[in-house]
């Protein structure tokens, strides 16, 4: 009975109009089409680190010190209302918003040439238990489903439980994250991998993860994130 009831609720959830998370208008999706069209899509940015630039190119930071990853794509700028949607998806169990963001990422990203695999930034087991899911893994699942690129969330694990990076300086973030990741398995045919992250702030997390894979012999590591 419980099962039938759950199925029925899931069914009606899709059948009945909901209200848009942002404007409150009736919508069949968690965010209405008008609000989706108004989202802050990122236009011109650094091809290495996805920092917004007036013209597509390589930013001065990446020129001075090239990062371990080759290309980064960020679908959105981390401004309103993306800075409201991602925390809702990450901390308030709003998986419908997370799925929508993953779907929009898959639509907007340039995915050619296809990498061998998508690797979501892993969470430490302690944080995963607290949250119940890994937001980057959920985004990667949507991208994998829509593009056919395989997803591997077991290749690497987070072995260091770090304090949240929010509120830390660039230097503190970098020190905090050193030694946080460990490769579990690495197939020999991986020549080009893509790290999937939700929000890239200073880039210290993906930098450390990219370094771990490069040190293990992967020649090319790119980053696709939801927002920067």
Closest CA to 144 of 177, 186, 102, 197: 102
Examine residue 33 and tell whether it contacts Zn ion (CB under 5 A): no
Write the binding mask 7 to 26 for Zn ion: x where contact by CB under 5 A, - elsewhere.
-------------x-xx---
Examine residue 45 and tell whether it contacts Zn ion (CB under 5 A): no
Question: How far is the C-alpha of 142 from the C-alpha of 146, rounded, in Å?
Answer: 6
The least distance separating Zn ion from the CB of residue 184, rounded to whole angstroms, comes to 30
Phi first, then psi, for residue 20 (nearest 5°) are -60, 130
Position among 30, 32, 42, 193 found at the interface with Zn ion (CB under 5 A):
32
Examine residue 210 and tell whether it contacts Zn ion (CB under 5 A): no
Q: Assess contact for 37 and 43: CB atoms under 8 A.
A: no
Position among 40, 57, 62, 157 found at the interface with Zn ion (CB under 5 A):
62
For 47, residues 6+ apart whose C-beta sits below 8 A from its C-beta are 56, 57, 58, 71, 72
Q: Assess contact for 27 and 89: CB atoms under 8 A.
A: no
Position among 39, 45, 46, 177 found at the interface with Zn ion (CB under 5 A):
46
Total residues at interface with Zn ion (CB under 5 A)? 11
The least distance separating Zn ion from the CB of residue 48, rounded to whole angstroms, comes to 4
Examine residue 47 and tell whether it contacts Zn ion (CB under 5 A): no
Question: Strand 181-183 vs strand 156-158: parallel, antiparallel, or unpaired?
Answer: antiparallel
Tokens 């990076």 appear where?
A: 165
Examine residue 128 and tell whether it contacts Zn ion (CB under 5 A): no
Residues forming the site for Zn ion (CB under 5 A):
20, 22-23, 32, 35, 46, 48-49, 51, 59, 62
């Amino acid at each position: 009975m419980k099962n039938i009831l759950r199925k029925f609720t899931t069914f009606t959830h899709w059948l009945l109009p909901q209200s848009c998370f942002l404007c409150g208008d009736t919508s069949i999706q968690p965010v209405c089409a008008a609000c989706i069209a108004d989202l802050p899509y990122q236009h011109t940015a650094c091809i290495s680190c996805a920092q917004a630039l007036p013209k597509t190119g390589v930013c001065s930071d990446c020129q001075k010190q090239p990062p371990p990853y080759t290309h980064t794509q960020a679908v959105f700028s981390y401004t309103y209302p993306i800075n409201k949607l991602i925390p809702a998806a990450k901390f308030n169990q709003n998986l419908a918003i997370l799925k929508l963001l993953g779907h929009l990422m898959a639509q907007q990203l340039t995915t050619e040439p296809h990498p061998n695999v998508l690797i979501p930034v892993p969470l430490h087991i302690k944080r995963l238990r607290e949250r119940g899911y890994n937001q980057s893994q959920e985004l990667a699942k949507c991208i994998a489903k829509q593009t056919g690129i395989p997803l591997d969330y077991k290749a690497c694990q987070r072995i260091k439980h770090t304090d949240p990076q929010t509120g830390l300086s660039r230097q503190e973030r970098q020190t905090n994250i050193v030694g946080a990741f460990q490769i579990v398995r690495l197939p020999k045919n991986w020549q080009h991998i893509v790290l999937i992250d939700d929000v890239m702030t200073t880039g210290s997390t993906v930098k450390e993860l990219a370094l771990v894979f490069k040190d293990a012999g992967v020649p090319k590591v790119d980053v696709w994130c939801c927002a920067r």
